[in-house]
Amino acid sequence: MPDLIGKSLGRYHILEQLGEGGMATVYKAFDTRLEREVAVKVIRIDNLAPNVLTRVRKRFDREAKALAKLDHKNIISIIDYGEEDGTPYLVMSYIPGGTLKERLKRKPIPWQETANFLAPVTRALDYAHKQGIVHRDIKPANILITKDNQPMLTDFEIARILKSEETLDLTGTGMGVGTPEYMAPEQGLGQKVDHRADIYGLGIILYEMVTGRKPFQADTPMAVVIKQINDPLPRPTQFVPELPKTVEKIL
């Protein structure tokens, strides 16, 4: 993907890169019409086969319209979308506080603090599920944090827009689209998923926050998926002995 810093996508002038993943690059941009800062997520199309690109663009248009209707205080709103030189992009509210991933420092967070922080995320997911939308990539990097320490869910759109029969193998391993450390077993196997996959991913985040570690770790993404499928959950009290049994039971 070419460097877009200093260039414009429609009315959005690109200022700096905020992050990059396998499916998209996120930029901080300035909306020249409304004179405000926004986040622009540019969808990577260079990894897609030409025979599926047209279908992905059509799906992008359809799903972007549906996702723009999500209206919840803990979900990042999509405020615009478009294409520039054939490359689709989404425009979202800019949240300057960073992500949950950046806040995790490999040490346990008190379970009471964790519960208070994740409660709004659970309500946001419940709202999205009732609209028939499954996130498919729940992970700390997709939970932004406002200046008031409020969590905001983002990236509903990427896995959903790119997920189709032709693009399931984006990982090159036959796995479903998502992040192996937070994937439900059926998602790791590339099977059809529903809202329960999101609940599983949220459970992994809860585990990671209260213990300071991910439950399943390995040297390769596929090895992590295999552990998700086959291994029992390591008991959280192994790492945090004072963790209440009720919290361990929930996990």
Residue 67 and residue 58 in contact, taking contact as beta carbons nearer than 8 Å: no
31, 80, 137, 198: the catalytic one is: 137
Task: For residue 155, indicate whether it is catalytic.
Answer: no
**If you write DSSP's letter for every residue of 96-116 in order, what string do you get?**
TT-BHHHH--SS---HHHHHH
From residue 170, alpha-carbon distances to 22, 44, 46, 163 in Å are 9, 11, 12, 9
Q: What is the residue-level pLDDT of the chain in tens, covering all 251 positions?
A: 678 899 999 999 999 999 887 778 899 999 999 999 999 999 877 766 777 777 777 777 877 887 888 899 999 988 998 888 878 899 999 998 889 999 898 789 999 999 999 999 999 999 999 988 899 899 999 999 999 999 999 887 565 565 543 433 334 444 556 789 999 999 988 888 999 999 999 999 999 999 999 999 999 999 999 999 999 999 999 999 999 999 999 99
Contacts of 123 (CB under 8 A, 6+ apart): 72, 74
* pTM of this structure: 0.85
